[in-house]
Amino acid sequence: MSALQIRNLQHKYALTEVLSNINLDLAAGETLALVGPSGCGKSTLLHIIAGLLTPSEAVIKNDFRGTACMFQEPRLLPWKTAEDNITLGLKALHVPKQACRQQAQNIAKTLGLTADDLNKYPHELSGGMQSRIALGRALIIKPDLLLLDEPFSALDIGLKLELYRLLRQHITERGSSVLMITHDLMEAVRLADRIVMMIPEPGRLIGEFTLQQSHAERSETWIYQTTAKLMANDRIRIGFGLAEGSLNLTEHLHTQHSGCSI
C-alpha cells in the first residue's frame, strides 16, 4: 500500500512545461531515489511533494504524518547557534525549551558533534559540520517522510560515507520513508530500495529499478558492480545523455516507466 501516490502530475513555469505525466508511488519504510541529469525537474518534483510548490495539475495522496527536508545547501540561519538551528522544528512544534536542549544534545552525540559545537554559529563551522547540523535538524523531528535534495553532493567521500551511515541508521531505527534526488547513480545504489530514472524537456520518468540486495548485505564490491550494471542499461544511458542510449529514445519512451529488478 503506497503512503504517497502521485498521478498525472504536470507542471509549467509560465509556458514552459517542466514536468509531464509523472506517476509515482512511495511505500512506508521505502527509500526511493530519483536519478537524472541537471535540469530534468527532480528538485521541482521534490518541492511539489514537500508542499513548497503547487503543481499545474496532479492528483496527490499523501498519508505521511510528518515531513522533513534536507537541501543541497545546509541553509542554516546565520544568527542562530548550531543548537538553535537543530531545534527549529521542535520549537515550531511547541516542544518545551529544556526538552529541545536535551534532544539536541542527544542527536549531537549521534552526529559526532560536541557541546562546544552546539554553541557555535554557522560561520564558525566547516562545511561538513554544517551538513551534520542540517541532517540533525531534519532527523530530530522524527519524520515519517524525509526528502533529500542532493544534500551530500558537495562533500568529500569520507564525510559522505559517514552521513550515509547515520542516515541508514535512522531509517532502520525509525522505519522512515525517504525520497531522495541525486545525479550520482552510485549514491542511489548505496542508499535506495528503488531507483527511478528521469529525463528532461520536459521532465518525465522512463525507467524503474528495484534493488533486491538488503542494505546490510551491500558490500562495496556489490555497490560498484551494480552501478556498472545499471550504467549499461539503455534507459540509464538515455537519461544521462550518452550517445549509445539516445539512438533508441523514441522506442523507449513508448514503453515509459517500465521496471526491472537488479
Same-domain pairing of 27 and 111? no
Q: How many domains does the chain have?
A: 2
The pTM for the full model equals 0.88
pLDDT digits (tens, 9 = 90+) for 124-176: 998 888 988 998 999 899 899 999 998 888 778 888 888 888 888 888 888 88
Same-domain pairing of 119 and 154? no
Last-in-domain residue among 122, 142, 162 = 142
Quickly count: other Cβ atoms within 10 Å of residue 21's Cβ.
Answer: 15
Amino acid identity of 61? K
The DSSP annotation for 110-172 comes to: HTT--HHHHTS-GGGS-HHHHHHHHHHHHHTT--SEEEEESTTTTS-HHHHHHHHHHHHHHHH
CB 4 within 8 A of CB 25: yes
Same-domain pairing of 113 and 165? no
Maximum mean pLDDT: which of 64-68, 110-114, 118-122, 149-153: 118-122
Same-domain pairing of 154 and 240? yes
pLDDT value, residue 1: 60
Same-domain pairing of 152 and 215? yes
Same-domain pairing of 181 and 238? yes
Same-domain pairing of 135 and 86? yes
Domain that holds residue 104: 76-142
**CATH value at residue 202:** 3.40.50.300
